[in-house]
Chains A and B, each alone.
Chain A
Amino acid sequence: MSFVTQRPLELILARNLMSALSTPAFLVDEGGLLVFYNEAAGLLLGKRFEELGTVGPQEWGSLFGPFDENGEPIPYDELPLVTAVRAGRPAHSELTVRSTDGTNHHVEVSAFPILTPHGSQGAIAVFWPSLKNGNGAGPA
């Protein structure tokens, strides 16, 4: 029997949807592996997903910051996407991400789990420009 690695359908459909959105979005699998982000997220971060590739859980948590309102790094365990994938609960917060050219972007992040009849298959995080500090302005 041919056993080929296959992503769960829910992740495939999520990626297909995200590919068509102009809103920056991240996709992680059930193990917290960053398996995709869309072109809009690539513009925000300064690097396309195809350039970066799949990234492990701890690694993506520190790649682009993120920082809190005081400019302090946010612990991995407290990121909305981690809450969504670990606890199976939606999460939302404001944070700052730093793109590869050093620009800080103050954003709001909404994350929610991908729950299926077979359990959690991962989570999606969508990034919104923060209304509080304007688009792109944040602590250096």
Chain B
Amino acid sequence: MKVKLWGTRGSIPAPGPETIRYGGNTSCVGVTLADGSMLALDAGTGIRCLGLALPEEPTRLHILLTHLHLDHIQGLVFFAPVFRPQTEIVIWGPTSPEASLRDRIARYISAPLSPVEVRELPCDVSFRHCPETEWEIGSARIRAASVSHRGPTLGFRIDDGDSSLAYIPDHEPALGADLEELEEDWISGFALAKDASLLIHDGQYTDAEYPCHLGWGHAATSHALSFARRTNAQRTLLFHHDPLHSDDFLDGLGAEARERWIELGGDPAALELAVERSEFELPARAPKAAATA
């Protein structure tokens, strides 16, 4: 499984010289499965560049939306494959008691917010609610679960061969909870991230910023680290950077996070801040050492 980060920013695009290293595009992660199938996790502004990088021949793409906040869907109408009649796009997302996934997305892809309507999109597009049970796309098994954020929001786990990716970009697992003390089955998103080869997790706020953003649906650095430690993820990327956090600020945040991570007993090489356009090839999990007599 190959993973490429096309947008790492949260809330709103933050382009400019002060964010050029970590990136200014909002959430989008491209995933290429072992059989060549292509997934896009979220459709923030980063999906525009993902679309430009894809070949033009007929193809089938899956877009998995964690939720419908604007920073996760804003790039949909600027995703070049949407305008290719030969392309089939399946958009997966959370259910809501209010309206279908198609109708909720159509609120954005319609006048006056958009120059085109969903029905006018040239591609063959379909909308599917993520099932409660695991399902297959290409060579991967996908699992979605509701996680603690504002409004119906999912996290995803993608298992392809022996490697696994957990994607929980918007997540406040410590809302009213002590992650260090809580039993694991009571931690939001735990099952998605348990033993994942790579965990991409919300790290929007510093610990100092978090008290002013309690209940906004995002994690403080220490919460993200506790979550990563409790779930035993092999490698963790702090993602969904706050738009106010410049490259220099994020350098400092990363250094502090690594110090805290080491204090928790973590491998410093297993923790990084997400950088736009960075790529990862997820290896198969190393077999567990055989027990010795």
**What does the 1/0 interface line of A109-127 toward B look like (CB < 8 Å)?**
0000000011000000000
**Residue A16, interface by CB 8 Å:** yes
Q: Are B97 and A5 closer than 8 Å at their CB atoms?
A: no
With A19-B176, A20-B176, A117-B96 already in contact, the answer to whether A1 and B164 are too (CB < 8 A) is: yes
Give every chain A residue within 8 A of B184 (Cβ-Cβ): 4
Choose among B159, B164, B177 the residue that contacts A16 (Cβ–Cβ < 8 A): B177
Evaluate contact between A5 and B185: CB separation under 8 angstroms.
yes
Contact of A4 among B159, B185, B188 (CB under 8 A): B185
Interface size class of B (residues with CB under 8 A): 20 to 34
Measured between beta carbons, the chain B residues less than 8 angstroms from A13 are 148, 175-176, 188
Are A1 and B175 within 8 A (Cβ)?
no
Interface pair A117/B97, CB less than 8 Å apart: yes
| Pair B132/A118 contact, Cβ less than 8 Å | yes
Q: Once the chains bind, are A9 and B148 in contact (CB under 8 Å)?
A: yes
- Name which of B132, B176, B187 has the most chain A CB atoms within 10 A of its CB: B176
A70 interface residue (CB < 8 Å to B): no
A102 at the interface (CB under 8 A from B): no
**Could you mark each residue 106-132 of chain B with 1 if its beta carbon is under 8 Å from any beta carbon of chain A, else 0?**
000000000000000000000000001
List the B side residues contacting A1 at CB < 8 Å: 134, 141, 143, 157, 159, 164
A19 — which chain B residues lie within 8 A by C-beta?
Answer: 176-177
Interface contact A5-B96, CB-CB below 8 Å:
no
Tell me if A15 and B186 are in contact (CB < 8 A): yes
Bound together, the chains give a CA A6 to CA B234 distance in angstroms of: 20
**CB–CB B186/A4 < 8 A:** no
Please give the distance in Å from B285's CB to the nearest CB on chain A: 10
0/1 per residue, A1-26, Cβ < 8 Å to B?
11111111110110111011000000
Number of interface residues of A (CB under 8 A): 19
CB distance from A106 to the nearest CB of B (A): 30
Cβ of A77 to closest chain B Cβ, rounded Å = 28
B148-163 contacts to A, CB under 8 A, are: 148, 152, 157, 159
Q: Determine the distance from Cα of A9 to Cα of B186 in the docked complex, in whole angstroms.
A: 8
State A62–B93 Cα separation when bound (angstroms).
Answer: 43
| Given A12-B186, A17-B176, A117-B95: A2 and B195 interface contact (C-beta under 8 Å) | yes
Interface of chain B: mostly helix, strand, loop or mixed: loop
> Are the C-beta atoms of B185 and A6 separated by less than 8 Å?
yes
Q: Which residue of B lies closest to A1 (CB)?
A: B159
* A9 nearest in chain B by CB position: B146
List of A residues within 8 angstroms of B175 by Cβ: 13, 16
Q: How far is the CB of A1 from chain B (nearest CB, A)?
A: 4
**Residues of A with C-beta under 8 A to B186:** 7, 12, 15
Cα separation A94 to B194 with both chains bound (whole Å): 44
- Chain B residues near A10 (CB-CB < 8 A): 146
Q: Decide if B190 is an interface residue (CB 8 Å cutoff).
A: yes
Query: For A12, what are the chain B residues with a Cβ–Cβ distance below 8 Å?
Result: 148, 177, 186-188
Q: Is the CB of A16 within 8 A of B176?
A: yes
* A117 B194 Cβ-Cβ under 8 A: no
- Look across to chain B and name the residue whose beta carbon is closest to the beta carbon of A115: B97
- Contacts of B177 on A, CB cut-off 8 Å? 12, 16, 19
Alpha-carbon distance between A8 and B141 when the two chains are bound, in angstroms: 20
B73 within 8 A of A: no
Q: Quick one: given A1-B164, A12-B186, A117-B97, are A6 and B176 in contact (CB under 8 Å)?
A: no
Instruction: Give me 15 A-to-B residue pairs in the complex whose CB atoms sit less than 8 angstroms apart, sorted by A's number.
Output: A1-B143, A1-B164, A3-B191, A4-B184, A4-B185, A5-B191, A6-B190, A6-B191, A12-B186, A12-B187, A16-B176, A17-B176, A19-B177, A117-B95, A118-B132
The 7 closest A-B pairs by CB, nearest first: A16-B176, A6-B191, A9-B146, A4-B191, A1-B159, A117-B95, A4-B194
Q: Which residues of A contact B (CB under 8 A)?
A: 1-10, 12-13, 15-17, 19-20, 117-118
**Other contacts beyond A1-B134, A9-B145: 20, CB < 8 A:** A1-B159, A2-B196, A3-B191, A4-B190, A5-B185, A5-B191, A6-B145, A6-B185, A6-B190, A6-B191, A7-B185, A8-B146, A9-B188, A12-B188, A13-B148, A13-B175, A16-B177, A19-B176, A19-B177, A117-B97
